[in-house]
């Protein structure tokens, strides 16, 4: 028994993923599950500090020494710039900008409070050095993309580089400042060139990085650099630990044609499957992964097409694919039955289809619905008002989906409770034609499929390796119409600050004096055991406040 248990632990390898606490989720309660860290649109690194950005969003993630520490929704639109710079006391400054605004926050173990910063206070981007001089009198150059070293008035190919692939045209050159190693990258391999007294023209050490099909960016400290690997639109992060490159990005090997999907039910809470691996969250909250069964000797296809998955009472996985029904016994997979009778091809699973609930039906991701079960009608969604986050989304470049100006979304779903939900890159729209619509900010864009489970809602993309989760009790919930409040419990001389998102670190929208009446409540959300309320002030300002400083309004109020 103990041997079987030990074998199970070894076979079903634990995976380092966040436990989906509020510390790892955006202001709307959406948590990035895969990849971790966030799918990076932008990356900034300094020393052992790494900040990544959820693509097409205003959400950033902090990592220190390879450990996920914090996630913050800046309240900005899709970011255009992300920078780390030195701050007093050994801390760092984080700078983030969208098309309109820039903010700054101090970074230590967590990201601090945000403040607006003018463009002239942003740190300048240092130019790429033309000469690298790790030791006095030893200078490295690139001549026609080839590395040369100058010493004693002579230029030549470094002796340790001769005869290696690094003597050819280089893709990346990084570091090489005073006392620093010089890093070279070419065709999936990096090399560290270190100049010492014993090796005055450099000692070459080679390290395999990853099969980065497009490009690599090296950043951070040359002693412990970070590599951002671009693989046909997806990214992975790696950190050099002094001896080898360690992957920072946890993935499920999702990529075309190795499609994946999310499964709930049958003990899965949830299970994530690709054509080669299965990942699931245990009842204790930890994550486990296992390779799918070996393919038959003569397999028409080079991977599984999983149809469904399960986790039994012992916590062991099962899977059904076109090659049979398999159950893991703690040591190995065993075939216990035939293939799925439904034979649901993955392409059919991902194809647009009609979805219905008590409100009506949606047709794929088109902006059409059928309330009476007979006639399809245009689904009128609200347009972005001036200065709103949706207006910022409309200002995105031409390949960005223009909210309210196209006839389809990235994806759509009809939820069990009667609501419809649409994803427009890093913005989610939820509601009904009768009760109205509300937006939620996502940690990243490009997700295009919904799966609803007992615990919450999953949003994912099998091609780009993105997967998010929102617990049902974490979603912002609307309050009844005409819910009015008065500011209460705020000391005289103090104010209740209205924030852009439900986080004390976010930017201030307005300030309400003690006793301010006729503050209209719109939504509430619980964040780390505290309730925040989205409010609309008499002056028309919209933002979030700590709900414990609101009391039911006495007397008549009317909309501003």
**Which tokens go with 240?**
């050099």
Q: Bridge-partner residues for 362, per DSSP? A: 355, 369
Q: What is the pLDDT of residues 169-191, one digit of tens each?
A: 999 999 999 999 999 998 888 99
Q: In what order do the strands lie in the sheet with 49-54?
A: 40-46, 49-54, 59-64, 67-73
Residue given tokens 């002094």 in the structure block? 242
Q: At 30, is the secondary structure helix, strand, or coil?
A: strand
Which pTM value belongs to this model?
0.85
Round to whole Å and give the CA distance between 501 and 527: 11
Q: At 476, is the secondary structure helix, strand, or coil?
A: coil
Contacts of 160 (CB under 8 A, 6+ apart): 193, 199, 201, 202, 203, 204
Contacts of 58 (CB under 8 A, 6+ apart): 73, 74, 75, 76, 77, 78, 79, 96, 98, 426, 441
DSSP 447: -
Let me know the angle formed at the C-alpha of 72 by 414 and 119, rounded to the nearest 5 degrees. Answer: 115
Q: What is the pLDDT of residues 523-538, one digit of tens each?
A: 999 887 789 999 999 8
Rg (CA), the chain: 27
Alpha carbon separation from 512 to 57, 78, 198, 225, 499 (Å, rounded): 29, 29, 68, 46, 11
Round to whole Å and give the CA distance between 381 and 421: 11
Decide: 167 and 161 in contact? Cβ < 8 Å. Answer: yes
Round to whole Å and give the CA distance between 524 and 446: 27
Is 477-552 assigned to CATH 3.40.1350.10?
A: no
Reference 497, options 115, 133, 111, 86; nearest CA is 115
Round to whole Å and give the CA distance between 9 and 27: 35
Helices (H) and strands (E) in the chain, counts: 3, 48
| 448 burial type by CB count under 10 A (0-12 exposed, 13-18 middle, 19+ buried) | buried
Spans of the chain, pLDDT less than 50: 1-11, 254-257, 343-348, 350-351, 387, 394, 396-407
Round to whole Å and give the CA distance between 275 and 256: 10
The predicted pLDDT at position 18 comes to 53
Round to whole Å and give the CA distance between 244 and 105: 32
**Which tokens go with 513?**
């004096």
Decide: 17 and 33 in contact? Cβ < 8 Å. Answer: yes
How many beta carbons lie within 10 A of that of residue 88, not counting itself? 7
Reported as type and span, the H/E element at residue 6 is: helix 2-11
Round to whole Å and give the CA distance between 523 and 543: 10
For the CA atoms of 164, 165, 170, 175, what is the dihedral angle to 10 degrees? -50
Helix intervals (H) in 151-310: none
Q: At 8, is the secondary structure helix, strand, or coil?
A: helix
Round to whole Å and give the CA distance between 404 and 236: 32
Q: What sign has the CA pseudo-torsion 112, 118, 119, 120?
A: negative
Round to whole Å and give the CA distance between 467 and 248: 16
For 254, phi and psi rounded to 5 degrees? -85, 125
Spell out the domain ranges in the chain: 49-116, 138-208, 354-380+407-471, 477-552
Task: Give the 3-state secondary structure of 305-353.
Answer: CCCEEEECCCCCEEEEECCEEEEECCCCEEEEECCCCCCCCHHHHHCCC
Largest separation between any pair of C-alpha atoms in the chain: 88
The predicted pLDDT at position 412 comes to 86
Backbone torsion region of residue 182, taken as left when φ is above 0, otherwise alpha when ψ lies between -120 and 50, otherwise beta: beta
The predicted pLDDT at position 487 comes to 95
Round to whole Å and give the CA distance between 176 and 383: 51
Residue given tokens 């409100």 in the structure block? 359
Reference 295, options 271, 326, 316, 266; nearest CA is 326
């Amino acid at each position: 028994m103990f041997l079987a248990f030990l074998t199970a632990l070894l076979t079903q390898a634990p995976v380092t993923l966040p436990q989906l606490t509020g510390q790892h989720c955006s202001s709307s309660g959406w948590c990035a599950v895969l990849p971790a860290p966030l799918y990076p649109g932008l990356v900034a690194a300094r020393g052992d500090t790494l900040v990544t950005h959820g693509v097409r969003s205003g959400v950033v993630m902090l990592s220190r020494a390879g450990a996920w520490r914090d996630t913050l929704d800046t309240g900005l639109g899709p970011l255009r710039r992300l920078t780390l710079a030195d701050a007093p006391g050994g801390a760092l400054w984080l700078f983030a900008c969208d098309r309109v605004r820039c903010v700054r926050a101090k970074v230590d173990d967590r990201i601090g409070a945000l403040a607006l910063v003018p463009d002239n206070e942003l740190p300048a981007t240092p130019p790429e050095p033309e000469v690298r001089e790790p030791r006095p009198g030893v200078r490295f150059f690139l001549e026609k993309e080839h590395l040369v070293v100058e010493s004693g008035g002579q230029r030549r190919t470094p002796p340790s580089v001769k005869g290696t692939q690094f003597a050819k045209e280089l893709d990346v050159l990084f570091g090489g400042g005073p006392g620093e190693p010089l890093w070279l990258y070419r065709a999936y391999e990096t090399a560290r060139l270190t100049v010492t007294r014993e090796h005055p023209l450099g000692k070459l050490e080679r390290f395999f990085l990853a099969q980065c099909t497009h490009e690599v960016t090296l950043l951070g400290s040359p002693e412990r650099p970070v590599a951002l690997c671009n693989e046909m639109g997806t990214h992975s992060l790696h950190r050099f630990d002094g001896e080898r490159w360690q992957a920072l990005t946890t993935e499920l090997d999702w990529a075309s044609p190795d499609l994946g999907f999310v499964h709930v039910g049958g003990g899965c809470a949830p299970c994530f499957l690709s054509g080669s691996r299965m990942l699931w969250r245990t009842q204790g909250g930890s994550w486990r992964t296992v390779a799918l069964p070996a393919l038959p000797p003569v397999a028409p296809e080079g991977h599984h097409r999983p149809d469904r998955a399960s986790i039994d009472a012992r916590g062991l996985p099962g899977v059904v694919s076109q090659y049979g029904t398999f159950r893991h016994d703690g040591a190995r997979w065993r075939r216990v039955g035939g293939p799925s009778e439904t034979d649901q091809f993955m392409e059919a699973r991902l194809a647009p289809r009609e979805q219905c609930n008590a409100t009506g039906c949606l047709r794929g991701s088109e902006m059409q619905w059928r309330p009476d079960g007979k006639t399809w009608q245009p689904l009128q969604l609200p347009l972005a008002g001036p200065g709103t986050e949706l207006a910022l989304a409309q200002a995105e470049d031409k390949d960005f989906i223009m909210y309210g100006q196209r006839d389809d979304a990235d994806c759509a779903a009809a939820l069990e409770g009667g609501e419809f939900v649409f994803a427009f890159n890093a913005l989610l729209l939820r509601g009904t034609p009768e009760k109205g619509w509300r937006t939620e900010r996502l940690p990243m864009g490009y997700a295009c499929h919904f799966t609803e489970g007992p615990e919450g809602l999953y949003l994912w993309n099998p091609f780009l390796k993105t997967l998010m989760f929102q617990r049902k009790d974490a979603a912002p919930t609307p309050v009844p119409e005409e819910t009015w409040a008065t500011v209460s419990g705020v000391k005289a001389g103090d104010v209740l600050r209205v924030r852009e998102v439900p986080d004390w670190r976010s930017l201030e929208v307005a300030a309400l004096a003690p006793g301010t009446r006729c503050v209209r409540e719109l939504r509430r959300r619980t964040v780390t055991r505290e309730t925040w309320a989205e409010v609309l002030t008499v002056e028309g300002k919209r933002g979030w406040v700590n709900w414990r400083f609101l009391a039911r309004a006495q007397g008549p109020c009317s909309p501003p």
